[in-house]
Structure 1
Amino acid sequence: MMEKQKVVLAYSGGLDTSVILKWLEENYGYEVIAVCVDVGQEEDLIAVQKKALSTGAAKAYVVDVKEEFITNYIFPTLKAGAVYEDDYLLGTSFARPLIAKKLVEIAEQEGAVAIAHGATGKGNDQVRFEASIKALNPYLKIIAPWRIWNLKSREDCIDYAIKHNIPIPVTKKDPYSRDRNIWHLSHEGGNLENPWNEHDSNIYMMSVPPEKAPDTPAYVEIEFEKGIPVAVNGIKYNPVNMLYSLNKIGGTHGVGIIDIVENRLVGMKSRGVYETPGGTILFEAHKALEKLTLDRATMSFKKIVAEKYAQLVYDGLWFTPLKEALDQFVDSTQEYVTGKVKLKLYKGTCTAVATASPYSLYNEEFVTFGEDHVYNQKDAEGFINLFALPITIRSLMQHENMNHENMNKVQKEKKAI
């Protein structure tokens, strides 16, 4: 009897991957190796592992990558200031290449011939997973059941699960699709698919509704070293505990909740509600510190880089030469992004109220309205003359041409008389 070929399944224990595990066995005859990558989804992953085995998996891995996720994926994106379409802090996006990396590593370790995932044929995650897998090991086959099976909806999956006695965490009354990690929680589907429907705050799991947040504002102080957060309120944390702490603080005050319609890579728009409490605090703090420590030209160009960086991350192009090159630029800009930022949290808002840095480019002697010894106001006249020279020359030419035209007009009128 021939030995069964192996497939590694990106397994979460949710509806889709629970159904896919059984479907792979039925339709391919593969030996399924379930891999649950722990990026901080706040679930009982031992129970998820047991569920995979009881559903038919030959092996089930749980891989804790929370610190690697924060250090090698979240912090580089934070330093870049990358925000997709001005709102989305890329919570799902930058988790996917790391998950794909772990799937490839285990596939190679186990001698698997394929990797399967539960991303739909309409979404971004299929691209993120598969582009990353192809970049890391193009010899692995990729199976995307949502693109080939006969199940057409989440309701069909629920029926399939019931038929095969697969325990599932959703019902037809709770059709939301959620993705959670230590950085954020996303909600999609259900009544959110109609953009005219106001979302129900009961869906929140990391945050309180802003209107129910405390009536007294809270202050939080973030310390950075070369663009990387290292302390909260004077206490040094490792990356994982820091983010857990900030999530709790931000969630208590309703910080980081957005409801957006975004442009998916595949060409359609989608609507989602995202909770990113700790991440929002870090982004606002980092942005404020850069305003204190970066010069105008660098800040201006970095905004262009940030937009491109966000697009690369959103599109699943993490393991690319351009992404690596942009990281080199970003790292060079962060050399002096060191200091402290104090933020005020109040009913959903997060505002930087104070900044300090040993590399601050703000100098009271330079900007004071009083007498100083570093700036001669008379020098401003020459600066303005040179700065405005192009528009001055343009205006002179326009006046000269206008005078010339008026003279020609007068001469023509004289001839006519």
Structure 2
Amino acid sequence: MTKKTDKIKKIILAYSGGLDTSVILKWLKQTYKCDIITLTCDLGQEEDLAGVDQKALDTGASKAYVEDLRNEFAKDFIFPMMRSSVVYEGSYLLGTSIARPLISKRLVEIARSEGADAISHGATGKGNDQVRFELSVASLAPDLQVIAPWRTWELSSRTDLIKFAEKNNIPLPTGSKRYSMDRNMLHLSYESGELEDPWEEAGEGTYTLTTPIEKTPNEPEYITIEFKNGDPIAINEKEYAPAALVMNLNKIAGKHGIGRIDMVENRFVGMKSRGVYETPGGTLIHAAHRDLESICLDREVMHIRDSLIPRYAACIYNGFWYSPEREVLQALIDKSQENISGTVRLKLFKGNVFCVGRKSPNSLFRKDIATFEHDDVYNQAMATGFIQLNGLRIQGHNKI
């Protein structure tokens, strides 16, 4: 929470250039009467950011940062998360959640370099993003104040924002946004509109990154993804930088309608929320990585790691990326990934991804033991004693 306005001399604002943050910028200037510096991050959302810095300056900012963070986002945030095979509540690949720690980190770094004493964000008081931003700042720079206009100002609707913008000569966006959307290279999310009724099917315009199933190719496509120490490094034997790899997989998977999720999730702030997500490339990475682990990862290590997935997912979803528990979990996960190197062959067809082949120099799979043909290494008679010993504990537990 913020303190007296006269104590704040400089604010760093997370700024997209849209209606909300443009209004916030002007409101901060009028309310706190101090320097406002904006930060706009390119996280692979594929928006034209040309002119967003000038728009910020025209709206009242004293300085505007526009930064390309795509490779840092993929290498230092998406990939560490993907090493864990994480998924939230069985479906969500955490596309929005994982972007917030990086934005928060840059807000703090700029606040330090510019001598600011506060940061501000445009997250609403109903959502998870406010928690993610502010917990990240609390960990990285607890002395910085955080200003969350949606929790303090008198504006309460999109209509109020438009009126404020018109009164203050802030250019309004063209067209009407049907949904509340968030996009980066990993995913695109949709909320509001008819999605607020969990019984209603998502309407036209809900999907952008993925082709409707009815229009996807009628023939399957095969691709390979190569991994090194748990991180994807190549598609079809061609190596890519982290961001380029994710974005190329988006195009490949999106063509086949892969990566759509429609779910009702439990927000950290206490409500259930329906959202539609598109995570095409991330879905391929998740499936291929999990499949490669099946031949490279020890059984007990896999089971321990799997038992921690809900806890690790909660760290990201709830805003605890910069927490001691996430760092401890990450150390265990990264240790488990030392031998996860190899290649997975995927078959893509009509919204589905099938893992149809996998190989690794570190494979633990032994054909001479697993074969159903004759072998000289496995004595089947030994299974008798194994079963008898394991049966001792449960003998008579369910007598009939």
TM-score by length of 1: 0.91
Does 1:244 find its partner at 2:214? no
- Aligned partner of residue 231 in structure 1, secondary structure: strand
Provide the residue aligned with 1:274 in structure 2. Answer: 277
One-letter code aligned to 2:71: E
Alpha-carbon distance in 2 for matches of 1:143, 1:319: 20
Query: What is the Cα-based RMSD across aligned positions, in Å?
Result: 1.7
Provide the residue aligned with 1:256 in structure 2. Answer: 259
- Aligned partner of residue 16 in structure 1, secondary structure: helix
Alpha-carbon distance in 2 for matches of 1:185, 1:167: 25
Residue 335 of structure 2, aligned match among 332, 336, 360: 332
Alpha-carbon distance in 2 for matches of 1:362, 1:385: 26
Provide the residue aligned with 2:361 in structure 1. Answer: 358
Measured against aligned partners, the alpha-carbon deviations of 1:100-120 in whole angstroms (never above 9, x if no partner) come to 000001011111111010000
One-letter code aligned to 2:377: V
User: 1:36–1:62: 8 Å Cα contact kept in structure 2?
Assistant: yes
After superposition, residues 203-222 of structure 1 pair within 5 angstroms as 203-222=206-225
Provide the residue aligned with 1:300 in structure 2. Answer: 303
Does 1:122 find its partner at 2:122? no
Does 1:287 find its partner at 2:290? yes
User: 1:96–1:128: 8 Å Cα contact kept in structure 2?
Assistant: yes
Deviation for aligned residue 1:165: 2.3
Alpha carbons of 1:138 and 1:170: their partners in 2 closer, same or farther (altered >3 Å)? farther
Alpha carbons of 1:99 and 1:111: their partners in 2 closer, same or farther (altered >3 Å)? same
Residue 377 of structure 1, aligned match among 368, 377, 380: 380
- Aligned partner of residue 112 in structure 2, secondary structure: helix
Provide the residue aligned with 2:324 in structure 1. Answer: 321
Deviation for aligned residue 1:132: 0.4
Provide the residue aligned with 1:72 in structure 2. Answer: 76
Deviation for aligned residue 1:4: 8.3
Deviation for aligned residue 1:293: 1.4
Alpha carbons of 1:196 and 1:170: their partners in 2 closer, same or farther (altered >3 Å)? farther
Alpha-carbon distance in 2 for matches of 1:36, 1:13: 8
Residue 28 of structure 1, aligned match among 32, 57, 71: 32
One-letter code aligned to 1:86: G
One-letter code aligned to 2:342: G
Does 1:149 find its partner at 2:165? no
Alpha carbons of 1:383 and 1:71: their partners in 2 closer, same or farther (altered >3 Å)? same
After superposition, residues 107-118 of structure 1 pair within 5 angstroms as 107-118=111-122
Alpha carbons of 1:305 and 1:3: their partners in 2 closer, same or farther (altered >3 Å)? closer
Does 1:137 find its partner at 2:141? yes
Query: Any unmatched runs of 5+ in structure 2?
Result: 1-5
User: 1:132–1:319: 8 Å Cα contact kept in structure 2?
Assistant: yes
User: 1:4–1:31: 8 Å Cα contact kept in structure 2?
Assistant: no
Moved more, 248-257 or 297-306: 297-306
Measured against aligned partners, the alpha-carbon deviations of 1:54-91 in whole angstroms (never above 9, x if no partner) come to 11111100121111111111111100111111111101
Provide the residue aligned with 2:200 in structure 1. Answer: 197
User: 2:194–2:203: 8 Å Cα contact kept in structure 1?
Assistant: no
Alpha-carbon distance in 2 for matches of 1:38, 1:67: 10
Residue 91 of structure 1, aligned match among 76, 86, 95: 95
- Aligned partner of residue 255 in structure 1, secondary structure: coil
Alpha-carbon distance in 2 for matches of 1:43, 1:66: 13
One-letter code aligned to 1:166: I
Moved more, 159-168 or 297-306: 159-168
Alpha-carbon distance in 2 for matches of 1:73, 1:40: 13
Alpha-carbon distance in 2 for matches of 1:196, 1:163: 39
One-letter code aligned to 2:36: V
Residue 63 of structure 2, aligned match among 53, 59, 67: 59
Does 1:182 find its partner at 2:189? no
Deviation for aligned residue 1:386: 1.2
One-letter code aligned to 1:85: E
- Percent identity over the alignment is 53
The structure number with the bigger radius of gyration is 1
Residue 265 of structure 1, aligned match among 237, 245, 268: 268
- Aligned partner of residue 179 in structure 1, secondary structure: strand
User: 1:92–1:179: 8 Å Cα contact kept in structure 2?
Assistant: yes
One-letter code aligned to 2:360: S
Deviation for aligned residue 1:3: 12
User: 1:15–1:170: 8 Å Cα contact kept in structure 2?
Assistant: no
Does 1:342 find its partner at 2:345? yes
Alpha-carbon distance in 1 for matches of 2:331, 2:384: 40
User: 1:154–1:175: 8 Å Cα contact kept in structure 2?
Assistant: no
- Aligned partner of residue 17 in structure 2, secondary structure: coil
Higher helix share: 1
Measured against aligned partners, the alpha-carbon deviations of 1:3-39 in whole angstroms (never above 9, x if no partner) come to 9821110001112101100111111112110111221
- Aligned partner of residue 392 in structure 1, secondary structure: coil
Query: Any unmatched runs of 5+ in structure 1?
Result: 400-417
Alpha-carbon distance in 1 for matches of 2:195, 2:7: 46
User: 2:25–2:36: 8 Å Cα contact kept in structure 1?
Assistant: yes
Provide the residue aligned with 1:415 in structure 2. Answer: none
Alignment length (residue pairs): 395
Provide the residue aligned with 2:3 in structure 1. Answer: none
Alpha-carbon distance in 2 for matches of 1:201, 1:229: 33
User: 2:206–2:276: 8 Å Cα contact kept in structure 1?
Assistant: no
Alpha-carbon distance in 1 for matches of 2:55, 2:191: 25
